[in-house]
Amino acid sequence: MSLISAAEIGAVLALIPPPQSFADLDEQVAKGLPKGALRASIEHVLTTPAERTQLLHAIIPPATYKRRKERLSAEESGRAERLARIFATAAHVWNSEDDARAFLNTPHARLEGQTPLAVSLSEIGCRRVEALLWQIFYGLPV
């Protein structure tokens, strides 16, 4: 289930022009997103430069990131899209980027005490965090 549009995810990724559909977003990811898309997503999620650098290196090894000229690989682009999707979903649920950021960076009992951000770095973990967010959104017990 997703109430988040491709354009909202594209906005977190700072894609210009923004994707008009999920098919368009999928095509952009497959071709490789601009390097700046990952940085834009990370800037939405974290506030300090040290935290941002640590997350960037958790997603893409530093040497690999430096080798990228303009575009990320399809796999790296998928990771950037996943981060943007989880942030866009959290911002929608909390109706606030600040509250979304706080949620993503606060350990949660339903995630075995890990932060939603840490869990969402894998696709399955991202699905777990999305399910949790929608339970919160619809007022279901969490």
What does the domain layout of the chain look like in residue ranges? Answer: 6-137
Average pLDDT over residues 112-124: 96
Residue 1 has pLDDT above 60, yes or no: no
Average pLDDT over residues 25-31: 97
Cα–Cα distance between 114 and 104 in angstroms, integer?
10
| DSSP conformation class of 69 | S
Average pLDDT over residues 119-129: 96
pLDDT band at 92 (very low <50, low <70, confident <90, very high): very high
Average pLDDT over residues 14-19: 95
- Concatenated DSSP letters of 37-50: HHHHHHHHH--SHH
User: What was the pLDDT predicted at 25?
Assistant: 97
**Per-residue model confidence as pLDDT tens digits over 32-51:** 999 999 999 999 999 999 99
Query: What residues form DSSP beta bridges with 22?
Result: none
Alpha helices, DSSP H, located in the chain: 6-12, 22-31, 35-45, 49-59, 62-67, 74-94, 97-104, 116-119, 123-137
Average pLDDT over residues 84-91: 98
Residue 140 has pLDDT above 90, yes or no: no
Residue 125 has pLDDT above 70, yes or no: yes
Residue 60 has pLDDT above 50, yes or no: yes
User: What was the pLDDT predicted at 94?
Assistant: 96
Residue 141 has pLDDT above 90, yes or no: no
User: What was the pLDDT predicted at 2?
Assistant: 62
Instruction: Quickly count: other Cβ atoms within 10 Å of residue 98's Cβ.
Output: 10
For CA atoms 109, 61, 86, 97, the dihedral sign is positive
